[in-house]
Amino acid sequence: MSTEPILDVEDLSSSIAGQQVVESVTFRVPATGITAVLGRNGVGKTSTLRAIMGLNHRRGQVRLAGERIDQMPTHRIVQRGVGYVPEDREVFAGLTVAENLALAERQAQPRREFVAELFPDLVRRKDQRAGTLSGGQQQMVSVARALLNDNRILLVDEPTKGLAPKIVTEVADALREASKLVPILLVEQNLDVVRQLATDAIVIAGGRVVHTGSAVGILDDEDLTRRLLGVSAETHPGETHAGQSHTGEARS
């Protein structure tokens, strides 16, 4: 890749309450398109994203467009242009949809029209408490919060987890639209979605990055996907039937 990466992660490790959850990951995220982070459950994909955001204790270097952000508190990292869509959505249940979105607005002219076009349902439900929304609608709120601002990169963690197939398509479409404006680092277990969206992919195993390359290249390499993602054309004990399926075993 000749262009400068938007995010450069070098020897990043992370721990929660003294327990090492990310050993040492090094990777770069290109300044365009969607880069998927793949790996079995429990290898530290979510923890890697949280470490980049400064939400977990971390060591190592993280550069955003060349600037070190690994010493900054979370709110500064976000203000530098890193949007975050967390696993499990984490909408503010007691606040209305409109309040959830208003809280996320950081710039004088947030992209309200863009978000309204992408998620018209949220406009209709603006006065509804976010806690009373369906899982899919909550995910839309969570994604919308990150899209309201001109971010330089989005970190999106399992946006389709637990959603009905129809909603998965809607969320994937929204992410595709968003990726035209901003590069995305995407943790995703649904390999169908990864195949549709991702240009590049990073595979994490044993707390380290073990493979990087084009997303389709990785997904088409049956041996690699079986070995690193726990998915294959055959059925293994304790795994769901594969190929078009989710990675890994039961959640830890």
Partner 1 sequence: MSTLILTLITGVGLGALYFLVASGLSLIYGLMHVLNFAHGAFLTLSAFIGWQVAQALGTASWGSFLVSILVGAVVGAIFATLTELVLIRPLYERHIEQVLVTVGLSFASVALFEGIWGTDAINIAGPPWLIGTTNVLGASIPNKYWVLIAAAAIVLIALVVFLQKTRYGMIIRAGVENRAMVTALGIDVRRSFTLVFAIGGAAAGIGGVLAMHAQTFVSAHLGSTLLIFAFIVTVVGGLGSLTGAAVASVLVAVLQQVANTYLGGTGDFIVVILLAVVLLVRPSGLMGRRA
Binding site for partner 1 (CB under 8 A): 53, 55, 73-75, 78-79, 84, 86, 90, 92-95, 99, 102-104, 106, 145, 149
Given the complex with partner 1, which of 127 and 223 has the nearer CB atom?
Answer: 127
Nearer to partner 1, 95 or 210 (CB): 95
In the bound state with partner 1, the residue whose beta carbon lies nearer, of 106 and 227, is 106
Measured from the CB atom, the residue of 47 and 245 that comes closer to partner 1 is 47
Closest separation in Å from C-beta 183 to partner 1: 18
Question: Closest separation between CB of residue 148 and partner 1, Å?
Answer: 10
Neighbours of 110 (CB within 10 A): 17
Relative to beta strand 200-205, strand 34-38 is: parallel
Pick the closer one to partner 1 by CB: 94 or 213. 94
Strand ranges across the sheet with 184-187: 67-68, 57-64, 7-16, 19-29, 208-214, 200-205, 34-38, 184-187, 153-157, 82-85
Length of the chain: 252
Q: How far is the CB of 178 from partner 1 (least distance, A)?
A: 17
Q: Closest separation between CB of residue 130 and partner 1, Å? A: 10
CA pair distance 210, 221, nearest whole angstrom:
14
Q: How far is the CB of 94 from partner 1 (least distance, A)?
A: 6
State the nearest-atom distance from the C-beta of 103 to partner 1, in Å. 6
Radius of gyration of the chain from Cα atoms? 18
CB of 132 to partner 1, least distance (A): 14
Residue 223 is encoded by which pair of tokens?
């041996």
**For residue 107, what is the DSSP state?**
S
First to last CA, the chain: 35
What is the distance between the alpha carbons of residues 4 and 6, in angstroms, rounded to a whole number?
6
Minimum CB distance to partner 1 smaller for 93 or for 233: 93
Rounded distance between C-alpha atoms, residue 71 and residue 26, angstroms: 17
Select 40 or 50, whichever has its Cβ closest to partner 1. 50
Alpha carbon distance 155, 53 (integer Å)? 9
